[in-house]
Structure 1
Amino acid sequence: MSDPVCETIAFDDFLKVDIRVGRIVEAAPFPEARKPAYRLLIDFGEEIGQKKSSAQITKHYEPGELVGRQVLAVVNFPPRQIGPMRSEVLTLGVPDADGEVVLIEPNLEVPVGGRLF
Structure 2
Amino acid sequence: MAEIMFDDFLKVDIRAGRVLRAEPFPEARKPAIKLWVDFGPEIGEKKTSAQLTAHYTPDSLAGRMVMGVVNFPPRQIGPFMSEFLVLGVADPDGGIVLLAPDQEVQPGERMQ
How far off its partner does 1:39 sit?
0.5
- Match of 2:87? 92
Give the aligned residue type for 1:100: G
Structure 1 CA distance, aligned partners of 2:71 and 2:23?
A: 23
TM-score of the pair, normalised by structure 2:
0.98
How far off its partner does 1:65 sit?
1.0
Matched residues, number: 112
How far off its partner does 1:31 sit?
0.7
Residue 44 in structure 1 maps to residue 59 in structure 2: no
Deviations 1:16-45 (A, max 9, x none): 000000000010000111110000000001
Residue 111 in structure 1 maps to residue 109 in structure 2: no
- Match of 2:11? 16
Deviations 1:64-89 (A, max 9, x none): 11000000000000001001011000
Structure 1 CA distance, aligned partners of 2:35 and 2:58?
A: 9
Residue 65 in structure 1 maps to residue 92 in structure 2: no
Q: Sequence identity, in percent?
A: 62
SS at match of 1:65: helix
- Match of 1:27? 22
Give the aligned residue type for 1:66: L
How far off its partner does 1:99 sit?
1.2
SS at match of 1:13: helix
Structure 2: gaps of 5 or more residues: none
RMSD: 0.5
Structure 1: gaps of 5 or more residues: 1-5
Structure 2 CA distance, aligned partners of 1:17 and 1:27?
A: 25
Structure 2 CA distance, aligned partners of 1:96 and 1:65?
A: 18
Q: Find runs of 4+ consecutive structure 1 residues off by over 6 angstroms.
A: none
